[in-house]
Chains A and B, each alone.
Chain A
Amino acid sequence: MSSAQLPANLSTETVREISESRDEPEWLLDARLDALDALESLDLPDVIQTPGRRWTNLEALDFESLVDPLDQADETERTSDEGVEVLTFTEALEEHPDLVESAFGSTIDPQENYLTALSAALFTTGTVVYVPEGVDAEDVTIRAEMNSRSLFSHTLVVTEKSSSVTILESIESGAEVDADARYFSNLVEIDAGENSYVQYGSLQDLEEDTYTYSLKRADVGTYATVNWIEGNLGSRLTRSDVESELNGDSAETKIVGAFFGHGGQHFDVNARVWHEAENTTADLVTRGVLDDQARSVYEGVQDVGRDAWNTSSYQRENTLMLSDESEADASPKLIIHNHDTEASHSATVGQVDQEDLFYMVSRSIPDQQARNMLVEGFFVPVLEEIEVDEFREDLEELIAARLR
């Protein structure tokens, strides 16, 4: 028995209707139906528990009223660069049926948990980015607007040998929707081929009546690099998992996260990496700011497998608390099975440095402005990791807007 309630009009017919209206192949309909069947036996994603506390209460999500499978609407602008194909999921099914079939579910098992299964059964939007061998693409953008009470999205990125791509994804709330709560689900699978390079930046700025579940996972091949940037500012409750499996020798990944919570926002932000091959490198950097009654939950996992010789793995997490009512929970985990490893993690929590503040105020910068400058400065190590100016500016603007 699953602990979550099923959406009201969720049935085999609903799923068939979604699939048929999109003219989907048999295999995808089957995958959707299997996911639907599995819902009953699947659990919600794990959340951290310590004596007497559960860090995030996903059980509180009322799917029955949040999710309306047949009323999903989005407006998504996609831009592509030369030589790279950026298609809607439906277009891709027509133009690259084999590619989509082999990539779908290859890094995220649709039946991994209740929320992935729900997403696989119901998704109506998504993008497929296909980068052929040797192609370098810098400007791929996916700007989405959510125009319904609930929206399920599934994105696939496939890079062939020695190609590279930089993708910016953003999601915000669109037209007024007649609902007091919304649900957005976003699954992203990256299959990074040998010696390819992917930077995947994501910016979530949904209205604060939204509940967001996002799982992004990369299968990183030999000599390949996948760098993630995950910016979370919106939503009432955000559960975000960004994960890299370093499956090829000398694979690399960087997971950079930024969040800024205010009001009653709750961010459950997770960065995880599995070292499964030799000479792999990972760097996890997360910075977050909390104001008002906002709450953050962070889990970072560096898992070094038995055969992962000569691993380098680093993790840093820093949280800045601007208010006494906020709460920052963190659990940076190291799981090491191979001794030929250099691994470290660190985490800090604190407030704006009083000396810095005093120094700036003594230089006649007004108190509030000085504080804002220090908060903006706090995000610099994250902003520095972003290669695309446009994306960095977007994030900076959102941070600045929140400080105003």
Chain B
Amino acid sequence: MSSEQDHLKETDTEARFDFKKEETSAFQTEKGLTEETVRVISEDKDEPEWMLNRRLRALEQFQEMPMPTDWPGQPDLSEVDIAEIVPYIRPDVDVRAGVDDWTELPDEIKDTFDKLGIPEAEKNALSGVGAQYESEVVYQNMQERWEEKGVIFMNMDEAVQKHPDIVREHFMTKCVPPSDNKFAALHGAVWSGGSFVYVPEDVTVEMPVQAYFRMNSEGMGQFEHTLIVAEDGAEVHYIEGCSAPKYSAFNLHSGGVEVFVGEDAHVQYSTVQNWSKNTYNLNTKRALVEAGGRMEWISGSMGSKATMLYPSTVLKGPGASDNHITIAFAGEGQNIDTGAKVYHNAPNTKSTIESKSISKDGGRTNYRGLVHIADGAEDSSTSVECDALMFDNESTSDTMPYMEINESKVDVAHEATVGKIGDEDVFYLQSRGLDDDDAKQMIVSGFIEPITEELPIEYAVELNRLVELEMEGSLG
């Protein structure tokens, strides 16, 4: 390992994630959600009329839709009371659209991101970085050489102003309409911040683009929107990281991610989610993939009190493909309900889903997946593999796949296994001089390797370190 990697490994991850800052917001809305709140947010951002109208329509839809309460075995959402949420907090930053130099950030915020190791990662391995603190993006930078090729990476609010045509066409229209689910509607009404990534035809962004989201205030909701448009033949890897310290009141994260993958384009979307354990993470992520395009979702779900997130891909054009790699880790008091949805709507489409979960100390994981093969999607194939590892009988691990197959000329395979950590494996490692905890940790690291090896090294190290901390029970 290089010294940089060693350094990253040695960074104290617990201290990096679980610190809080004094709340120093410049502006925040009242708790709860009314039309007035939505108008205030829109006005504060100086948005065009069409965006305000979209927000208001989403608000209507949110108010019409019931909470999802009838899914088999779903997390308990009774605590999620929108009336108790502060939907919008603007931190005290002079430059509205964020700054492009870390040193210009207020010390409080700079310090936060320093601790998270973001500037460091930017220097080392990334093409661009965006950082969001509460509801607003506070830092945004894209390396010049990509900008020259027409690549756009900016915060979503700014994109509404600067690239209205692209945004108006793609923003919550065909990919994630607010009518998709209650929390997508909520998101549509109060969204703020997030990333806009545009990669022109045939441009390959060789280094990953990264955004980091940080929730600092108690009782707030974060609703960042990510819109990625990869034109035909384009290629980009987007990485998202998130964290929040732990408070006694609950936080709500309800982001929206829309990815447009053009013909023969390739988008990889990687997330390591480590929200604090009082956060409800109710996110909607979807990709539309044109002919020959390829979408990859790589997700690590470590934090949150409850997560309901099923990144979905619609394979629209012939030959489009999708890969899902997910890992969920649920410790005490956590309920991670996650999976994948893939719609095969064209011939010769392919998808693979690889899902791993670990549950421990009463934690609860669930793989909930849907594979739909439409009539006419001949010669399509899908394979779903779920493995669950359980540490004790206080924990729960469920697998609930749904498969809807309307076409005969297909190859559909689903497999799932659940097992306890192998006593023999532990014994073997112990006999080689490892203590019980180290042995188990090593087995878990091996178990999640298929995921970590897909991630850039910084993230792989972070994920491993988070898993180690979970195993030690030292993350709160």
Contact = CB atoms under 8 A, between A and B. Distances in A.
Contacts of A335: 73, 396, 398-399
Contact of A321 (B390, B405, B417): B405
A333 B397 CA distance: 11
Interface in A322-373: 322-351
A331 B393 contact: no
A322 B378 CA distance: 13
Contact of A48 (B402, B413, B417): B402
Contact of B420 (A322, A330, A341): A341
B203 interface: no
A263 to B, nearest CB: 16
Contacts of A334: 388, 397-399, 416, 418
A331 B402 contact: yes
A309 B392 CA distance: 11
Nearest to A320: B408
B288 to A, nearest CB: 16
A326 B405 CA distance: 9
A346 B416 CA distance: 6
A314 to B, nearest CB: 10
Interface residues on A, range: 35 or more
B405 A327 contact: yes
Of B408, B413, B417, B420, most buried by chain A (CB within 10 Å of CB) is: B408
A329 B403 contact: yes
Interface in B140-164: none
A324 B393 CA distance: 44
B400 A331 contact: yes
Given A332-B416, A338-B393, A348-B414, A324 B407 contact: yes
A350 B411 contact: yes
Contacts of A325: 375
B393 A344 contact: no
A66 B417 CA distance: 43
A346 B415 contact: yes
Contacts of B405: 319, 321, 327-330, 349
A336 B398 contact: yes
B20 interface: no
A306 interface: yes
A336 B406 contact: no
A53 B409 contact: no
B176 to A, nearest CB: 13
A351 B396 CA distance: 36
B52 interface: no
Contact of B399 (A322, A333, A339): A333
A373 to B, nearest CB: 18
A339 B390 contact: yes
A50 interface: yes
Nearest to A304: B418
A341 B390 CA distance: 9
A318 to B, nearest CB: 10
B401 interface: yes
Nearest to B386: A334
Contacts of B421: 339
Q: Is the interface of A mostly helix, strand, loop or mixed?
A: strand
Contacts of B395: 337, 339
B413 A327 contact: no
Contacts of A347: 401, 403, 412-414
Contacts of A319: 405
Nearest to B378: A324
A103 to B, nearest CB: 30
Given A50-B370, A335-B398, A341 B415 contact: no
A331 B413 CA distance: 12
B105 interface: no
Contacts of B414: 330, 332, 345-348
A337 B396 CA distance: 4
Nearest to A295: B406
Nearest to B369: A331
Contact of A336 (B375, B390, B409, B415): B390
B404 interface: yes
Contacts of B433: none
B247 interface: no
A350 B396 contact: no
Interface string B71-88: 001000000000000000
A53 B372 CA distance: 11
B419 interface: yes
B391 interface: yes
Given A329-B403, A337-B396, A339-B391, A324 B73 contact: no
Contacts of B407: 321, 324
Contacts of B40: none
B404 A336 contact: no
B8 interface: no
A309 to B, nearest CB: 8
A51 B408 contact: no
Interface string B363-397: 00000001010010010000000001011111111
B398 A333 contact: yes
Interface string B131-143: 0000000000000
A175 to B, nearest CB: 37
Nearest to B400: A333
Contact of A345 (B402, B412, B416): B416
The 4 residue pairs across chains A and B that have the minimum distance between CB atoms:
A339-B390, A321-B408, A349-B412, A334-B399
30 contacts: A306-B394, A321-B405, A321-B407, A328-B403, A329-B403, A329-B405, A331-B401, A332-B399, A333-B398, A335-B73, A335-B396, A336-B418, A337-B395, A338-B393, A339-B395, A339-B421, A340-B393, A340-B420, A341-B419, A341-B420, A342-B418, A343-B417, A344-B415, A345-B399, A347-B401, A347-B403, A348-B411, A348-B413, A349-B412, A351-B409
Interface of A: 48, 50-51, 53, 306-307, 309, 319, 321-351
Given A329-B403, A336-B397, A343-B419, 17 more contacts: A48-B402, A319-B405, A321-B408, A321-B410, A324-B409, A330-B403, A333-B398, A334-B397, A335-B396, A336-B418, A339-B395, A344-B416, A346-B415, A347-B414, A348-B413, A348-B414, A349-B405
